[in-house]
């Protein structure tokens, strides 16, 4: 069992630290998906576009520009039109991103999830892990712990740098769903990454408390 450093932090301080960590993860949701989107667009490459595709891109871009100029009236309609008419273009991918952002800001998680799924279909290999992590946060907001955990697990095991966030996300949703044994497992995975600073102190305290709960439940 990991030993706590110094005095155990007060419960209130731990909760504040925990909330800050959750909010920080959510705050970076769009950045994570945006990074995946950028990589996808670069990976597509202009060399892959034939003449007809280039014409489609031009038309799609013009329609997308019209949507951008209609932020107050009818933007959603134009963005959906870009997707309907030019679904395979980069402009359509950006339209999905804008719709996701709009729905997420409005709190319409189901529609935001639908847009993330469309973006994820365009992502390849490791790039898909970024979008999958973002999808997990939306499932967590819906309190769909099983689907959130499945997404976080994929992100953690992708081994592309998301594991520091994803193992903590896995531990958190396991605690929320009452699966203490899984939370212990995920906190141990995180400690195995050899983190430093306050987050390590927090995790060690949480792990110690959860291990004590498990021992108590066996009596």
CATH architecture of 143-219: Alpha Horseshoe (1.25)
Give residue 118's pLDDT band: very low, low, confident or very high (50, 70, 90): very high
Boundaries of CATH 1.25.40 in the chain?
143-219
Q: What is the pLDDT of residue 199?
A: 87
Contacts for 107-112 with beta carbons within 8 Å, 24 or more apart? 109/138, 109/141, 109/142, 110/142, 112/138
Q: What is the pLDDT of residue 39?
A: 54
Select from 35, 160, 139, 24 the least CA-distant residue to 97.
Answer: 35
Alpha-carbon dihedral angle through residues 9, 13, 15, 19, given to the nearest 10 degrees: -130
Cα gap 38→44, rounded to integer Å: 10
Give residue 147's pLDDT band: very low, low, confident or very high (50, 70, 90): very high
Q: Identify the sign of the CA torsion 49, 52, 56, 58.
A: positive
pLDDT tens sequence across 35-45: 655 555 544 44
Q: What is the pLDDT of residue 23?
A: 63
DSSP 8-state secondary structure symbol assigned to residue 7: S
Distance of CA 34 to the CA centre of its chain: 11
pLDDT tens sequence across 189-217: 999 999 888 888 889 998 999 999 988 88
Q: Does the pLDDT at position 68 exceed 90?
A: no
Report angle CA 206, 173, 164 to the nearest 5 degrees. Answer: 70
Give residue 34's pLDDT band: very low, low, confident or very high (50, 70, 90): low
Residues near 152 by beta carbon (within 8 Å), at least 6 away in sequence? 133, 136, 166, 169, 170, 173
Cα gap 166→75, rounded to integer Å: 34
Residue 122, number of CB atoms within 10 A of its CB: 21
User: What are the tokens at 54?
Assistant: 């280039």
Q: What is the pLDDT of residue 192?
A: 94
* Mean local confidence (pLDDT), 129-140: 91
Q: What is the pLDDT of residue 22?
A: 60
Residues near 11 by beta carbon (within 8 Å), at least 6 away in sequence? none
Query: In the chain, where does DSSP find H-type helix?
Result: 11-27, 29-44, 51-68, 75-85, 90-106, 109-122, 127-141, 145-157, 163-176, 180-191, 198-218
The pTM for the full model equals 0.68
Give residue 1's pLDDT band: very low, low, confident or very high (50, 70, 90): very low
Cα gap 86→158, rounded to integer Å: 31
């Amino acid at each position: 069992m990991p030993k706590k450093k110094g005095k155990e932090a007060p419960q209130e301080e731990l909760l504040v630290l925990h909330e800050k960590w959750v909010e920080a993860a959510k705050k970076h949701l769009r950045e994570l998906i945006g990074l995946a989107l950028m990589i996808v667009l670069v990976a597509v490459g202009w060399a892959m576009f034939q003449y007809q595709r280039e014409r489609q891109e031009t038309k799609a871009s013009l329609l997308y520009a019209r949507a951008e100029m209609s932020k107050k009236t009818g933007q959603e309609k134009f963005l959906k039109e870009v997707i309907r008419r030019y679904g395979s273009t980069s402009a359509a991918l950006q339209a999905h991103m804008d719709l996701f952002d709009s729905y997420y800001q409005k709190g319409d998680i189901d529609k935001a999830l639908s847009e993330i799924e469309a973006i994820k279909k365009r992502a390849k290999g490791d790039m898909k892990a970024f979008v999958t992590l973002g999808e997990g946060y939306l499932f967590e907001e819906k309190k769909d712990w099983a689907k959130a955990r499945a997404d976080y697990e994929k992100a953690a095991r992708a081994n592309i740098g998301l594991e520091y966030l994803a193992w903590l996300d896995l531990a958190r949703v396991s605690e929320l769903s009452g699966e203490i044994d899984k939370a212990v497992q995920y906190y141990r995975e995180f400690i195995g990454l050899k983190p430093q600073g306050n987050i390590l102190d927090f995790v060690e305290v949480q792990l110690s408390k959860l291990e004590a709960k498990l021992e108590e439940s066996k009596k």
